[in-house]
A and B are shown apart, each in its own frame.
Chain A
């Protein structure tokens, strides 16, 4: 158990809909990262937050957004969903801004029908 929790575990929704994925980092970790894992794209970094502020952006679509709240939990919002958004979404946390190991949550499996 990494100490990172994600909810929900599974999500099935229709095209065009909007969903919110939630992540609670390990106790004391200030950095939160979001990743998408799909068969064709592999593991892709989406976005990083550090202590409530956006720190780095990766391959995140404009339809996706995230935020980190004062209690350090984070949410990833996915809107106008398309079939291609079906994937595993992982949250990870670390205690440092950069350069250290990341601890991954169990993931949320999103299926868009």
Chain B
């Protein structure tokens, strides 16, 4: 079953604009991660935010985490054509040693030049 659900499923914006994607999850987590996937290729880790953190930045990326709402958002500022990809949030379950990531279905982001 899907733990994380991204919203929207697809997003098309103009180059230079900001892109915001949201993720909701169901159970308690240790951390939440965002990954990017270019068409048919391997996933690339973008950023990890721990359950005791509320916001994290990495370059043009800003991630927030609200554990009370079980939600996270990924903001990409000043988007570029190269940002066109699918973005996934992934969670690992709290404790238990089972650390396979559970992914949402992803947000497909298209940056129009």
Contact = CB atoms under 8 A, between A and B. Distances in A.
Interface stretch (B20-28, B41-49, B60-68, B72-80): B41-49
Interface residues of A, number: 31
Interface of A is mostly: strand
A97 B103 contact: no
A100 B41 contact: no
Contact of A48 (B30, B44, B88, B99): B99
Contact count band on B? 20 to 34
B48 A56 contact: no
Interface of B: 2, 30-31, 33, 35, 40-45, 48, 88, 92, 97-106
A100 B48 contact: yes
22 contacts: A4-B42, A31-B99, A42-B104, A43-B88, A44-B103, A45-B100, A47-B100, A48-B99, A56-B99, A57-B98, A58-B100, A90-B43, A97-B99, A99-B30, A101-B33, A102-B45, A102-B101, A104-B44, A106-B41, A107-B40, A107-B41, A107-B42
